[in-house]
Amino acid sequence: MANRAVGVFRASSRLARLCPDQVRRTRFRRTGLGRRGLAEDHVYAFLRRIADELTARNAAEAGLREENARLKNALREWQSLHGSKPRHLADQG
């Protein structure tokens, strides 16, 4: 397999993540003469499946990010209309 850094996700930091196009572009070396190797059609079918799943995951994540932004904006609007301090803090000050 080509030497490529594989994307890693950690909660504490966002590192480069594996993209569908990276999976699609990955090519495996052929085995030498007289050696057994993997069936290329199975390998590439699996890579297509991974790429499709990454595409679906990325789309779902983008939708969740949009929903999160919408909810944050709605919360900020609500807080500006009703006061941003929780009631127990407002009574103290």
**Cα–Cα distance for residue pair 56/10, rounded to 1 Å:** 20
Taking only the tens place, the pLDDT of each residue in 43-86 is 888 888 888 988 999 999 999 999 999 999 999 999 999 885 66
The total number of residues shown for the chain amounts to 93
CA distances 72 to 42, 62, 63, 66, 68, Å, are: 45, 15, 14, 10, 6
Say whether 41 sits in a helix, a strand or coil.
helix
pLDDT at 14: 52
Say whether 5 sits in a helix, a strand or coil.
coil
Is pLDDT larger for residue 72 or for residue 89? 72
